[in-house]
Amino acid sequence: MTTPTDKTELARAAGANMYARDRASQELGIKLLECAPGYARMEMKVEQWMLQGHDVCHGGLMFALADTAMAFASNSHNEAHLALNANIDFLRPAQLGETLIAEARESNRSRRTGMYDVSIVNDAGKAVCHFRGRTFGVGGEVIR
């Protein structure tokens, strides 16, 4: 594959490339809606199997959605980055059948580290989670 030189095209190609080999995100039903430089928007629908003992979406699966959005935003420059750590605040439970939208934005990027803020909202646009994570560059490109 030819690596695009335009930054917007590069982000789109890196996103498509990563998504194609990210089996876990596919199995969780996470969809890539948009990947731009330092940005990603993804969605996940709350299915029956995702409910925990209180009949709301398992918090770990909401974290997985946010973490995935950070991964796509942090790799959008075609420089491979991995998650170092993250924190998440659970603001509101997510119900069966809701579609959760995660938007990841680059809040900081230095030579070797990145910081990302991810918000998850539900169908009604209400905040469900706030996530903040940090990544570090591991060398190498995303597009293969």
Residues at the site binding a second copy, with contacts judged by CB under 8 A:
18-19, 21-25, 27-28, 48-54, 57-61, 63-68, 71, 82-91, 107-108, 112-113, 115, 127, 130, 132, 134, 136
Distance of CA 59 to the CA centre of its chain: 15
Strand partners, 34: 41
Q: How far is the CB of 111 from a second copy (least distance, A)?
A: 11
Q: How far is the CB of 138 from a second copy (least distance, A)?
A: 9
End-to-end Cα spacing for the chain: 7
Contacts of 122-127 with C-beta under 8 Å, sequence gap 24+, read 122/92, 122/94, 122/95, 122/98, 123/98, 123/99, 126/92, 127/91, 127/92
Q: How far is the CB of 18 from a second copy (least distance, A)?
A: 5
Nearer residue to a second copy within complex by CB, 36 or 80: 80
Nearer residue to a second copy within complex by CB, 36 or 143: 143
Nearer residue to a second copy within complex by CB, 8 or 108: 108
Tell me whether residue 90 is exposed, middle or buried, using C-beta atoms within 10 angstroms of its C-beta: 0 to 12, 13 to 18, 19 or more.
middle
Q: How far is the CB of 29 from a second copy (least distance, A)?
A: 12
Is 78:101 a contact under the CB 8 Å cutoff?
no
Nearer residue to a second copy within complex by CB, 7 or 132: 132
